[in-house]
Amino acid sequence: MGSKPSKPQFITVLGDKQVEMGKEIILSCETNTEGLTVTWEKDGHTLKCVQDKHVMKQDGNNWSLQILNADEVDEGNYTIKLENQSGRDACSAKVIVELKEWRTVQWKQNEMVDYLRTFTIDIDEVKELRFLLYGLVGAGKSSTINTIKTIFGGSQFVNCLAEAMSTTSFTMKYEKYVIADGKEDLLPLAFNDTVGVEKEQGVHTDDIISALRGHIKEGYVFNPKSQISEENPHYLKNPSLSDRIHCLVSVVAADRIAVMDQEIINKMRQVRQAANRMGIPQVVFMTRVDLACPLTKENLRYIYKSKKVRDNMQKCSSLLGIPVNCIFPVKNYHMETHVSGDINCLMLDALTQIVDWANDYVAQIAQI
């Protein structure tokens, strides 16, 4: 009787790979013994070896998987499993395929900052363009306002608006935030922060619709059980064009899109449809991209090369019914202690576009 073989073990393990489209990927490892049964898996399923795509090799104790002409479908989690009579072992690695950049961002902030600093609204009667931030609890609404304030404040704005992590909304009041350019001047932009949407609690959908129409004054404390009544001192009966919201910004966390509840999606769609009827431009700010995509976390400039980001944007578009070109992935200040040019540029890229859309809307309504 022959002796039992050694229990399979790895001498070297698979390493994570990041490659450009069209390039070759090689995953390799070394084991302690030969005579093993080896299987390769991708995302938990046995890898189907495709001709001219996959080459699996063994050279003594060295094992490799070569993936030719890397394509977005090759991105995923690869595992090699070893087995013999004495036992089994496995190790995994992530493969990230950089897509061809499909949207460009100007990674220099000066021009965009200057554009917003000198921006004027087409209609004199309207002194500020109003943006309403709306979305799930903890989506990053308040953090988005913090990030915008940071850009124009020149140093990181103390993050007093945002909550570390909570299941109920941290923001309870309807508040307006203006953007100070330096110490004194104000940009003609205002951002209204709202309570997060929740399944049972949270902001009443009709209140958001009233806010879009300009009926709710700042300082109003949202009541999840009932909508604002016309008798409420915070109810504005005859809002002017200046009181109305000029752009609806739905805020969605990239790392939570896959687990968004249908009831929440329905509420958000209801608000969106109301905004549609009023002709209000609507966009999505997809926050927390760094938590949803390791490529972006490592370097924000890869944002439009990331398959994860693009897939999340497409998912978000079909869930909420908003075209992909109105969806802006952004990263907010979160752990950073210093101002980052890249964080600023990504937010400014979105901001410069939505400011134009809000301005067009105001000009259009003023003519009616």
Ligand X SMILES: Nc1nc2c(ncn2[C@@H]2O[C@H](COP(=O)(O)OP(=O)(O)OP(=O)(O)O)[C@@H](O)[C@H]2O)c(=O)[nH]1
Our CB check for ligand X shows the closer of 79 and 147 to be 147
Our CB check for ligand X shows the closer of 141 and 310 to be 141
Q: How far apart are CA 303 and CA 104, in angstroms?
A: 9
**One symbol per residue from 172 to 191: x for binding ligand X (CB under 6 A), - otherwise; what is it?**
--------------------
Q: Does 165 bind ligand X (CB under 6 A)?
A: yes
Which stretch, 77-85, 227-235, 287-295, 360-368, contacts ligand X (CB under 6 A)? 287-295
Question: Which of ligand X, Mg ion, none has residue 30 at its interface (CB below 5 to 8 Å by kind)?
Answer: none
Rg of the chain on CA atoms, in Å: 26
**One symbol per residue from 124 to 143: x for binding ligand X (CB under 6 A), - otherwise; what is it?**
-------------xxxxxxx
How many residues sit in the footprint of ligand X (CB under 6 A)? 24
Our CB check for ligand X shows the closer of 80 and 249 to be 249
Q: Does 299 bind ligand X (CB under 6 A)?
A: no
Q: Name the residue among 164, 176, 216, 171 with its Cα closest to residue 195.
A: 171
C-alpha distances (whole Å) from 40 to each of 44, 55, 61, 76, 357 are 9, 11, 15, 13, 50
CA dihedral 319, 335, 193, 209 (to 10 degrees): 10
Q: Does 332 bind ligand X (CB under 6 A)?
A: yes
Q: Does 170 bind ligand X (CB under 6 A)?
A: yes
For residue 17, what are the contacts with CB-CB under 8 A and spacing of at least 6?
25, 26, 27, 93, 94, 95, 96
**One symbol per residue from 10 to 49: x for binding ligand X (CB under 6 A), - otherwise; what is it?**
----------------------------------------
Which residues in the 247-276 window bind ligand X by CB under 6 A? 251
Runs of H (alpha helix) within the chain: 109-117, 141-153, 205-213, 262-278, 289-292, 294-298, 307-320, 341-367
Strand-pair partners of 26: 66
Question: Which of Mg ion, ligand X, none has residue 165 at its interface (CB below 5 to 8 Å by kind)?
Answer: ligand X
Q: Does 306 bind ligand X (CB under 6 A)?
A: no
Interhelix angle 109-117/141-153, nearest 10 degrees: 90
Q: Name the residue among 312, 279, 280, 277 with its Cα closest to residue 293.
A: 312
Our CB check for Mg ion shows the closer of 197 and 351 to be 197
* Residue ranges in contact with ligand X by CB under 6 A: 137-143, 162-166, 169-171, 196, 251, 287-288, 290-291, 331-332, 334
